Amino acid sequence: MAKKPPQTDEASHDHSHDHEDELSEEDVVVLVDEDGNETTYLFIGTVDVDGETFALLVDSEDEGEDENTSVFVFHYTQDDDGGEEFEPVEDDELLAKVQAAAEKMFDEAEKGEA
């Protein structure tokens, strides 16, 4: 499910935490890698693990294709001015913890919809 994200230099992201069934511009995150390549992701939520917040993103081109859509995990911080930063997760053990927390969150959300 969760994958290590690509290395990024900067992020452009407008996001409000009101999630509706339809996606808006606020759910879109554009990350730029060290080569200047842009990748557009959809912000699907956050999960807190060990006192840190992690963003869960899916590649906008893969979203909705099948049940096995890859979820990318980034350290997520927000400054006092509302600016957001996304940093790759390098620690495999931490990534596994985040993956387990995200799967639990998705399972609970799925049960709530049933």
Number of domains in the chain: 1
Rg (CA), the chain: 14
3-class SS of residue 26 = helix
Which pTM value belongs to this model?
0.72
Q: Which residue has the higher pLDDT, 101 or 24?
A: 101
Strands (E), the chain: 2-3, 10-13, 28-32, 38-49, 52-59, 71-78, 84-88
Residue 14's domain comprises 2-113
- Find the helix or strand (DSSP H, E) in which 112 lies: helix 92-113
Query: Which is nearest to 57 in space by CA: 46, 76, 72, 78?
Result: 72
Q: What is the pLDDT of residues 38-68, one digit of tens each?
A: 999 999 999 999 999 999 999 888 755 556 6
**How high is the pLDDT of residue 63?**
58
Q: What is the pLDDT of residues 4-44, one digit of tens each?
A: 454 444 443 444 334 344 445 568 999 988 899 999 999 99
**How high is the pLDDT of residue 16?**
39
Q: Decide if pLDDT at 100 tops 70.
A: yes
How many CB atoms are located within 10 Å of the residue 46 CB? 16
Measure CA of the first residue to CA of the last residue in the chain; give whole Å.
Answer: 22
